[in-house]
Amino acid sequence: MIEPKEVFDISLTVNGERLTRRVQVRTNLADFLRHDLELTGTHVGCEHGVCGACTVTLNGKIVRSCLMFAVQADNCEVQTIEGLSRSGVIKDLQDAFVQHNGVQCGFCTPGMLAAAHALLQQGPLPSRERIRDFLSGNYCRCTGYQAIVDSVQAAANQRARSSMP
C-alpha cells in the first residue's frame, strides 16, 4: 500500500538543469520556482489560475504553475522565462515586445511571452483575432493588449519572412 506523505523528494529538470529537492507537497509549482529555486521571473497574480502571470512550460506545453504542486513536476521538464531567455528560442518575441512596447510594468510579461511562444509554435502567421483568442487567458492591466498583439504579430511575420526560401 502506498503511504500518503506530506514531504516528497523530487527530481526534475528546470531550464535544462537537473535538480533534486525535498518539497512540501502543498507547495505549488509557482512558489517552488520562485522561492525554492529563486527563479523570480515567474510571477503570481492570483493563485486561482485566472491571470496567467505564472504561465511556464511543462514538458514543452504551457501550464499555470499556480495550479499544480511542485511534487507533480517530479520527473518533468520545466522551462521558466529565465530558461526560455537563455536558450534564445524567444529572442525574436522579446525583441518585438521591446520594440512595440508590449511591456509596461512587466508583471504579466513572462507569462505572456510563454503563451505567445506556445502560439507561434502551433503554426505560422496567426491573425490578430487568433492572437487575441490564444492570449485571452493572460491578463495585462497596463497595455490594453494592443501593443502585445502588435508584438506577437510582428514576431510571427518576422519568422514567416525568415523561413521563406
Partner 1 sequence: MSARETLAARQISRDDSLVGRSIVRPNIRRHTEGGGHFVDDIKLPRMVHVAFLRSPHAHARIVSIDSNAAARMPGVIHVATGKDIAAISKPYVGVLRHMEGLRSPPQYPMAVDVARWQGEPVVAVVAESRAQAEDAIQRVDVGWEVLPAAVNMEKALDPSEPVIHESYGSNLCYRQIVDTGGVDEAFAQAHLVVEDTVNIGRQTGVPLEPRGLIAAYNAADRELTVYHSYQSAHLMQGTLATCFSMEERQIRVIVPDVGGGFGIKIHTYGDEVAACALAIILNRPVKFIADRFESFQSDIHARDHRVRGKLALDREGNILALEIDDLTGIGPYSMHPRSSSIELLEVVLFTGGNYKHKLYRARGTVVFQNKNCMCQYRGVGHPVAFAAMEHLVDQAALKLGIDPAEMRRRNLISDDAYPYTSPSKTRFEILSHQKCLTQLLKLMEYDDLRKEQAKLRKRGIHYGIGLASFFELTNPSPLIYGMGGARIGTVESCTIRLDAGGQIVVHTAICELGQGAETIVAQIAADAVGVELSSVKVISGVDTLSGPTGSGAWASRQTGTVGEAVLQAGLTLRKNILDVAAVVLQTSEEKLDIINGSVVMKDGKRGGNVSLLELARIAYYRGNELPSTCEPLFMATHQFRIKDYDFVFSNGAAGCLLEVDPETGFIDLLKIWCVDDCGRAINPKLVDEQIRGGMAQGIGPALLEHCIYDDQGQLLTCTMADYLLPMSLDVPDIEVHHVQTLTKTSALGAKGIGEAGASAPPGAIMNAVNDALRPFNAKVTRQPITPEVVLEALGKISQVSSVSRQA
Partner 2 sequence: MKAPRFSYARPDTIAEAIALLTRFGEDARVLAGGQSLVPMLNLRIAAPSILVDINQISALNGLTVEAEKVHVGALTRHAHIESSTDVSKYLPLLALAMPHIAHPAIRTRGTFGGSCALADPAAEIPACSVALDATFVLAGPNGERRVPAQDFFQGALTTALKSDELLTGVEFPKSKPGYAAAFGELTRRKGDYAIVGVAAHGFISQARLSDLRIVIFGASDRPVRARHLESELEGKEASSECIRRAATALDADVEPRDDLHATGETRRYLTRTLASRVLSDLMKVGVS
Among 85, 92, 137, 159, binds partner 2 (CB under 8 A): 137
Q: Is 143 in the site for partner 1 (CB under 8 A)?
A: yes
Residue of 126, 47, 118, 130 lying closest to 84 (CA atoms): 118
Binding mask 15-44 for partner 1 (x = CB under 8 A): ---------x-xx------xx--xxxxxxx
Phi-psi region of 64 (alpha: psi -120 to 50; beta: other; left: phi over 0): beta
Q: Residue 26 has which C-alpha cell? A: 502543498
Instruction: Quickly tell me which residue has 520556482 as its cell.
Output: 33
Q: Is 28 in the site for partner 2 (CB under 8 A)?
A: yes
At closest approach, how far in Å is the CB of 135 from partner 2?
A: 9
Amino acid letter for position 91: K
Please tell me whether residue 70 binds partner 2 under the rule CB under 8 A. no
Is 7 a binding residue for partner 1 by CB under 8 A? The answer is no
Coil/strand/helix, residue 145: coil
- Choose which of 104, 118, 158, 159 interacts with partner 1 (CB under 8 A): 104
Contact 73, 12 (CB under 8 A): yes
d(CA 137, CA 66): 14
| Using rule CB under 8 A, residue 13 touches partner 1 | no
By C-beta, is 18 or 61 nearer to partner 2?
Answer: 61
Least distance CB 39 / partner 2 (angstroms): 18
Strand partners, 19: 12
Give the nearest distance from C-beta 123 to partner 1 in angstroms. Answer: 19
